[in-house]
Structures are given as C-alpha cells and as structure tokens.
Structure 1
Amino acid sequence: MNPYLLEMKHISKEFTGVKALSNVNFKVSKGEIHCLIGENGAGKSTLMKVLSGVYPHGTYAGDIVFEGSVQNFAKISDSVKAGIAIIYQELALFPDLTVYENIFAGNEVKKGFLVDWNQTIARAKEMLNKVKLNVNPEALIKDLGVGKQQLVEIAKALSKDVKLLILDEPTAALNETESENLLQLLRELKTQGITSIMISHKLKEVTAIADKVTVLRDGQTICTLDASEGEISEPVIIKHMVGREIEDIYPKRQHQQPGETVLEVKNWTAYDANLGRNVVRDVNFYVKKGEIVGIAGLMGSGRTELAQSVFGNPKSYKLQGELLIKGEKKSFKHPKDAIKAGIAYVTEDRKGDGLFLIQDIKQNISAANLYGVASQGVINENEEVKVSNHYKESLNIKAPSVEQLVGNLSGGNQQKVSLGKWLFVNPSLLILDEPTRGIDVGAKFEIYTIMNKLIREGLSIIMISSELSEVLGMSDRVYVMAEGKITGELPIEKADQETIMKLATQ
C-alpha cells in the first residue's frame, strides 16, 4: 500500500523565461502535518498553485500523484473534487455575507433546485463545532476578527470532505493565542485523518507542529527533515533555507546615546466615530534621534491606530492632545502634512495599502515624492529610473530591473520597495508597522540590517511588531499598549517576554 497521500514528481514551472520551479519532488504521507519552508521567492506558493489547479495541467512539467492516481487538474474545482483545499494568507471570504453562506458558497445544500437554508444553517453549525468556533452562523463575516475568519475558512474546507488541507501563512495576521488555537486545531484534525501542508515563516510554530519539513530554495527541493528522527530545529531549517548559518537573526548594533527629541505626543486620544469609541486613549510617548522605539501589544491594542493618528490621521479620527516635532507643536490634516514634517509610515498591509502591485518598481518608489522626480510639473523618467536604481541597489531589491511589476516580487522584496518609497521622501522619523510580517528569515535579516544602517545615519524608527522576539532583538526602548493605552515603558535592558505580556494583558 502506498504510504503517500501526495507525490509531486519532477515539477518544473516557468514564467516568461524565469524558472520558478526546477525538478521539484515533494511527498506527503497520509495523516501528517508537513511544513513547506523556504525564503520568499523559493517557489512554495507556486508549487501549491500547481497542486491546487491554479496553474492547470499542461502549464508545468512533471506529475501530481494523489491517492495513487496521476491527476491532471484543469482548474481549481478539479482539485477540490479530489479532496484538496487551499487557504491563502489573504482570506477568500465575502465580508457582507453570513458565516453559513460563506461556508457553503459554491457548495450549496439543495432540496431539488432550491437552496435548503435550514439544512445549510444546521450543517454550518456542525462545521463550526468541528473547528471549535462558537459564533452565530448568521453573523456577518465582516463582524468577525481575523482569527475567527480563518476558522471559518477551515470550516468551509471541511464542508467539502477535504483530505488534504493546505494553509499558506495561516498565522501571519493572528496573535499568539489565536495562532496556538489554530495549531491545536490542526493537531486535532490530524487525529481525524486529515493531512495538512502548512507554509509558514514562523519557525517556532514549524518546530512545534511539523511531522516533516521540506525546504525549497531557488525553486529546487533542498531536503526533507523528519521530526521522528530529531532532524527538525530552527538552526538546521535556517541553514537549509538560506544556504548559510545565521548565528544571530538580529544583527548586532552599537546602542548609541540618542540625540534630540524628534517626536513627542502628549495626552493623545483618538476617537473612531465608526466604532463609537476611543481607539487611542491618553497616550504619552516620545522618540529621540538615532533610536528604535518598539511598540508591542496584542492585536486590537491600538498600535496601528496610534501610528495612523500621528501620520496625518488618514482614518479621520477625532483627535485630542498635543503632537510636537522637534519641540514645535504641529497639527496634521492629511498624511501629506506629516510627510512634509519628516514622518514616513510603512503600513502593515503592503499589498492593500502600501504598494501599487500592477505598477513597476520605479513607479512605486517615486509615488510618495513625485516632485522629487519632476521638472516643471512633468515627471522626468530618466530621473525616476536613476532614483529607483539607487534604492534597488542600496536595499538589495532582487529583480531583473526597476521595470519589474511589484506584484511579481516576493514578499521580502515588496517590503524593500515599500521602504525605498518612503526613504525617498527623506524622513527624519520612519514608522514601521509589522515590518517583517509574511517574509522569510533571510529577508528579515536584510530588513533588520537596513534598519540598523538607517539608525547609524541619524534616522529615528518606531517599530510596531507582534513578534516579541523582534521587539526585544531590535529596540532601544519598548512601549507596551493594551486597549488603546500605553501600559508601560521599558528600557531594553529591563524588557523580557514575560514582562511585556503582563503589560499587554492589563
């Protein structure tokens, strides 16, 4: 009897002359949790799109063998019928529909030619119980948090009698509690005979849950590690991912004496009329020249809301309090006012808010400072190319040229383009909101190295991060937020994960 549920044999895939996958071999045993690991651009998502029919048979070389039979999936629905379901990092739910409508969208429960809504709701409750999600099936998706939406996606997959569940960065937008709940659910699904493939950059999660780990690098299979043989550990995975050992994920930086106060916020409150409550409450904090100030806290603590309220208030909060730039009181009516005052903001949602995915690198880098590449009101394309090439080289953006569409870049390189865009406005203060979310360990190291370089050059950085190790590894000082308030300020020498979590849960 074949022990493998899935075998992908000698898979190769090209895009306009660029080889994304080269002779990849990937085997998954029945009833295991198998993690697929690699740097951004290694080919993980491409391989899963081949498997799920996004890239149909005939557009790639090699064979997919599922349950012992060669499969020629022409479209996604073919892989779904075979029992394969894929859940992407960007959830594919309809926000204005109910939970039960989303679970059975395209797979409606019918009585004759009509949808049986009573049976649909009843079966939706069964699926929600399976994923241990206690919500009203008649609730709207948009009223649920990201963690609960993720569970609805899994419930949707289970409603189709899934045999192989693929999760692409499932915990990227979740807090630690939600992430652990999701991992526990995967363990329970395993006991029910469901096999899972998980793509993740969070190596602690990988080492905690994986039965096996397959590493891809540059579109090729590097190795498969087996937990039962004691082969899975963070240093081993990192070495195979990047082709070298990274002894310290956080590059060393000489902590210097900070200079003048660049930004100070006093008694700062932001009221969100849509929510009918304060999202930031009576906050006081400051940032000095040449330091990285970390802001930690759980999701919903108000960290992003604080950053946006300072950066020209794009959400139109009702603001109270004082904001001072280098000692001078300021009032920003629009983000362009904040940019003029020397503040730049790299959003946590680079694909939704940070970049124009259908435009190229040079157009994205110049987007926030068109006057910097214009002459008499007309964009000078030669200057735009010159500027973007400068940031391509200085930030080590891996792309054939600055004409490359940003949507075709890996997550780490997209993040570097986003950084270049905001560095081109020549800020004195850079706000980085989740700067390494969804990027691999090698790209993270590069981002951290860039941050240290910027600090040496006199820039100041506010870093919002949900990864406590990142906050502790990169910050000079740490503020902790909970329920819109700052619950503590810690010098890095006195900061540790336990103290931060205590302050974050007050």
Structure 2
Amino acid sequence: MADDHYVLEARGVMKIFGNHVALDNVDFGLKAGEVHALLGENGAGKSTLIKILTGAYQPDGGGIYVDGQQVSLDNPLHAQTFGIGTVYQEVNLLPNRSVAENLFLGHQPLRWGFVDFRKMEADAKTILAKYDLHIDPSSELGTHSVAVQQIVAIARAVQLSGKVLILDEPTASLDRNEVERLFEVVRGLKARGLAIIFITHFLDQVFAISDRVTVLRNGKLIDTRPLDALSRTDVVRLMLGKDIAFSGATDVEPSETPNEVLLTFKGYGRKRSVLPFDLTIHKGEVVGVAGLLGSGRTEVARIMFGADPADQGTVSVNGQPSAIRKTTDAIKHGFGFCPEDRKAEGILGDLSVRENIVIALQGKLGWFKALNRDEQLEIAGRFGEAMDIRAASLDMPVKLLSGGNQQKVILSRWLATDPAFLILDEPTRGIDVGAHAEIVRTINRLRDEGMAMLVISSELDEVVAYSSRIVVMRDREMVAELRGKNINPGVIVQAIANNPDEAVA
C-alpha cells in the first residue's frame, strides 16, 4: 500500500491472544474523503482492528501509519491527538447533562477560571448548525432521540479529532428515517474531506453510503475493493467464504405429508428488533435460520423464547392461542434455548457440571419438588454419557471444561426437561471437530425422534445438511423460506444478498 495515498493505514498488523491469532498480517488503508466499509462475520477481527487503529490495543506485529508516518498509539486519547475519533453503537455520552456539556466535555471554555456556559452554548449552537441540527444546546441530551444523540456524538468526535471518524454500527438502533438523516451527516463530513470507517451488518447501508469495502474473515484480510465493482452476492460470498456455484443440497428428504403442527407464529415481531413474521413449525423438523450477523437471527430466537418478548402478533402452541411474555412462559410450554454466547448467557461458570445440567429441570419442577443429590447425579450422568461430556468429575466447575463440552452441557440441560421445541443459536461455533460432529449427530437424532427445532448457524454447509426448511433473515426481516432443492448454499447466498435474478455461477 502506498503510504502517500492514505490518511490512516495498518500494515501487516498482527494481534495474538494466547493461542488465538485475532489478526494475521492484515493490511488496511483509509483515504481522505471516502467512506470505507469494514465487513466480516462474528470473530472476523473487525473489533480488534478498530481497537488497534484507536490505540485501545497494541499490535503484536506490523505497524500503524498516519499520513505515511509510523506512529505508536498508546490509548484512544492519544489517538485523538492524531485526528482519530470513534462513535460506537451505544452512545458513550452523559444523557443527564446538556447537549453543550456533552459536546465540550473535557475542554469547556473558561472565563475567570469558571466554565463559560454562555460561550459554550453559543459555540454548541454553531457546531450543531453544521449538521443541520437545530436544538436547544442547554437541553438534556437524554431527552432527544437516539439519532440526535448519535449526531451529537459524531459532532463531538469530529471536534476532538477532525481527520478520521470511525463509526462502529451507528445505525443498529435507528429506524429508516433516522438512518437517512445520519447518512446525510456522513455525506457532509465526507465532502469536507474526512476519512470515515463504517462498520455495519446491513448490506443495503454499505452500498448506500460506502466507496470501498474491506472484508475480514477469521482474522485474515480477504479483499479490499471499490464497491461500484461489486454486487451484493460478491460481498456476501467474500464474507462467508462460499462459492455460490456450490450445489450441495440438503440430505433431508421433504415429507409428503408434514407432521403435526406444533407452533404457529402470525405477525410476530418486536419494534426496533424484528419485523413481524409468519412461521409454522411442525413436530419432527429442523427449521434452519440463515443470514449475516446482525440480520435479526438471534433476535427471532430471543422473542420466540420470551427473553425479549414480542410486542405484536400471536403465537399458538398445539393449536391453542398462547402468550409468551417471559422465559418461564416458554419453558412451561416445553421450549428450550441454547444461546449464542454460552459463556455470558449459557453456563453458570462457578456451578458444577451436574448443577448446570439439572438447573432447568429443577426450575420446571419447582423448588418444592427439589431433586436430591442422587437424582441429580443420575440425570447428569445419563446425559453426560449420552452426549459424551468429557469431564474429570460431574462436580467440577463447568467453567473448567472446553468450549465444546460446555456446549454439550447446555444442550443436556434442555434435553433433561424433555422439550417439545428446542432453539439452538450457533450451537457449533468455537468448538473442536469432535464436539462439532457430536452436536450435529444429536440434532439429526432429535429431529428423527420427533422434536421440533429452530437452528441458527453461520455455517451454510452445516445448516443445509440437517434442515427440513430454511428461513433467511436480512435487515431484521424474514425474507425467504427455502424448501427441497432450494436448500443449498447458492440459493441461500442469493437470498441473503437480495439478488434473486443473478445467475448462479
């Protein structure tokens, strides 16, 4: 990369955490007056690269260059002195202070040693006018919409930095009108010559605002290209590493006569989370969910399980109208949920393997029917053997197990409740090959035994192999339902990319 073209540049950057290589010889260059999209699935290395570019992390190899000169960024405040500012998805300002105070926090104008509020508010009004934002600078920031708060955060970052602006998923909590207003601000900053990095999971927004795109996958640079030379399918293929010519169709034979209906969701959704969807789930089938990270896959699982209750639509269980307002409602109906983030939301790290396996069953039975230790050991031992959980003892803390064995423990927890419907969110992510194969075999076995499942996976080959049907999520909306011969990676990639008319190579 020629350094005279780039305002900010990473050359051959490496970052290693223990035995994990988070970034492997990554190059990245940012030009003045461009919006550069940084894309990649979960674990691709986007966050690590941004933290290195902003001084939050130090690279283990390679270097960072500003205007062609190598620099060492000690921390984000130090990065600001080189003109690098960041705005995150969650506005990192003080909602109970005024708009003006947030804009000038840490560098307030002084008069006789005291904050000059009159000047601060006058200057704030002038700054906000550049963003076509005409609000009272003395008003509390928290009284304004998230979109307005984002613009204030951008204005502050530009004031403090003024050369490079990093926008880390700034549109995740905005509606369409708010997104367009934010994009008008971004276009204005681009016209003023700012170099902007845009991180998002929404492909339509990437094509609407960006000039170039860099795709990372598993810590490696896949490619950097001008967006006008790419289609949506090209970008999805780069992100997922899938050639859409691949024809591997599902091994699951479609049933001539569908099994009995277990669940019916109609107009089911949650504002600012998932658009209303209709979905019927039968006993003895696996409904796969495909889509890019941020497409709404996990949000669908969470509203089905009542973790984030739906605020519109209806659900019927076994033909009976039901209400799932909280997770305990879902459990009473025979639902189970293995979440994507097993460490934060799945395992109870300090509890034993035995306690982690029986806790959901105990909750379902109620504490007046407490399982004694022998019953707990019998249940945990049975599932430990069936799932091949490799632990020195069932009484050892579950946090000491490998990721694959922790995942088996969480799956065993819900199987112990004899569920009618099981939701699995990325069940094979980050586990070893042996555990991966065991969990896929378990999914196939449970389907054949008549259990209904919803399985979310980024691994297209995997979700194709065990799904009876696949629904595709894009931009928080369920946009396609694939059956039969259409259950193959090529059709999935096209549905994700919203290019149904593109020929499959």
Same fold flag (TM > 0.5): yes
1:340 equivalent in alignment to 2:338:
no
Tell whether the 8 Å contact from 1:38 to 1:217 is kept in structure 2 after alignment.
Answer: yes
Deviates most, 131-140 or 20-29: 131-140
Q: 1:489 maps to what in 2?
A: none
State the alpha-carbon separation in 2 of the partners of residues 160 and 188 from structure 1: 17
Q: 1:491 maps to what in 2?
A: none
Q: 2:168 maps to what in 1?
A: 168
Q: 1:39 maps to what in 2?
A: 41
Distance 1:156 1:338, change over 3 A: same
Residue aligned with 1:174, SS: coil
Q: 1:369 maps to what in 2?
A: 360
State the alpha-carbon separation in 1 of the partners of residues 163 and 88 from structure 2: 17
| Paired residues for 1:264-303 under 5 Å | 289=282
State the alpha-carbon separation in 1 of the partners of residues 412 and 480 from structure 2: 23
Residue aligned with 2:160, SS: coil
Q: 1:472 maps to what in 2?
A: 479
Tell whether the 8 Å contact from 1:323 to 1:331 is kept in structure 2 after alignment.
Answer: yes
User: For residue 185 of structure 1, what is the amino acid of its counterpart?
Assistant: V
Shift of 1:334: 5.8
Residue aligned with 2:30, SS: strand
Q: 1:187 maps to what in 2?
A: 187
Distance 1:314 1:44, change over 3 A: closer
Please, which of 237, 255, 267 is the counterpart of residue 235 of structure 2? Answer: 237
Write the deviation string for residues 262-293 of structure 1: whole angstroms up to 9, x where unpaired.
45799x9x9xxxxxxxx9xxx9x995636979
Write the deviation string for residues 65-116 of structure 1: whole angstroms up to 9, x where unpaired.
1123221111111001211112223332334334333333334333353322
Distance 1:330 1:131, change over 3 A: same
| Paired residues for 1:96-495 under 5 Å | 96-227=96-227, 230-246=228-244, 262=262, 289=282, 325-327=317-319, 335-343=327-335, 369=360, 371=362, 375-376=373-374, 403-404=402-403, 427-428=419-420, 445-446=458-459, 450=463, 453=466, 467=475, 470-474=477-481
Shift of 1:5: 0.5
Tell whether the 8 Å contact from 1:366 to 1:388 is kept in structure 2 after alignment.
Answer: no
Shift of 1:197: 0.8
Distance 1:316 1:136, change over 3 A: farther
Write the deviation string for residues 103-134 of structure 1: whole angstroms up to 9, x where unpaired.
33334333353322233333333343333345
Segments of structure 1 that go 5 or more residues without pairing to the other structure are 271-278, 295-303, 391-399, 406-412, 434-442, 477-496, 498-506
State the alpha-carbon separation in 2 of the partners of residues 337 and 371 from structure 1: 15
State the alpha-carbon separation in 1 of the partners of residues 83 and 64 from structure 2: 14
Tell whether the 8 Å contact from 2:357 to 2:410 is kept in structure 1 after alignment.
Answer: no
Tell whether the 8 Å contact from 1:238 to 1:245 is kept in structure 2 after alignment.
Answer: no
Residue aligned with 1:474, SS: strand
Tell whether the 8 Å contact from 2:359 to 2:413 is kept in structure 1 after alignment.
Answer: yes
State the alpha-carbon separation in 1 of the partners of residues 415 and 461 from structure 2: 15
Tell whether the 8 Å contact from 1:65 to 1:71 is kept in structure 2 after alignment.
Answer: yes
State the alpha-carbon separation in 2 of the partners of residues 33 and 258 from structure 1: 49
State the alpha-carbon separation in 2 of the partners of residues 364 and 464 from structure 1: 36
Residue aligned with 2:22, SS: strand
State the alpha-carbon separation in 2 of the partners of residues 218 and 86 from structure 1: 24
Residue aligned with 1:214, SS: strand
State the alpha-carbon separation in 2 of the partners of residues 133 and 352 from structure 1: 42
State the alpha-carbon separation in 2 of the partners of residues 417 and 176 from structure 1: 41
Write the deviation string for residues 463-498 of structure 1: whole angstroms up to 9, x where unpaired.
997726x4121399xxxxxxxxxxxxxxxxxxxx9x
State the alpha-carbon separation in 2 of the partners of residues 194 and 222 from structure 1: 25
Q: CA RMSD in A?
A: 5.6
Segments of structure 2 that go 5 or more residues without pairing to the other structure are 290-298, 364-370, 390-398, 426-455, 484-497, 499-505
User: For residue 21 of structure 2, what is the amino acid of its counterpart?
Assistant: K
Distance 1:311 1:6, change over 3 A: closer
State the alpha-carbon separation in 2 of the partners of residues 43 and 112 from structure 1: 48
Residue aligned with 2:64, SS: strand
User: For residue 236 of structure 2, what is the amino acid of its counterpart?
Assistant: I
Shift of 1:13: 0.9
Distance 1:77 1:351, change over 3 A: farther
Tell whether the 8 Å contact from 1:365 to 1:422 is kept in structure 2 after alignment.
Answer: no
Structure with the greater alpha carbon radius of gyration: 2
Tell whether the 8 Å contact from 1:8 to 1:24 is kept in structure 2 after alignment.
Answer: yes
User: For residue 333 of structure 2, what is the amino acid of its counterpart?
Assistant: A
Write the deviation string for residues 336-381 of structure 1: whole angstroms up to 9, x where unpaired.
243122245789x979995679889989986972649995586888
Residue aligned with 1:215, SS: strand
Please, which of 14, 20, 23 is the counterpart of residue 22 of structure 2? Answer: 20
Q: TM-score, normalised by structure 2?
A: 0.63
Residue aligned with 1:369, SS: helix
Q: 1:73 maps to what in 2?
A: 73
Distance 1:144 1:30, change over 3 A: same
Distance 1:322 1:181, change over 3 A: closer
Q: 2:448 maps to what in 1?
A: none
User: For residue 63 of structure 1, what is the amino acid of its counterpart?
Assistant: G
Q: TM-score, normalised by structure 1?
A: 0.63
State the alpha-carbon separation in 1 of the partners of residues 320 and 182 from structure 2: 47
Residue aligned with 2:478, SS: helix
Shift of 1:201: 2.5
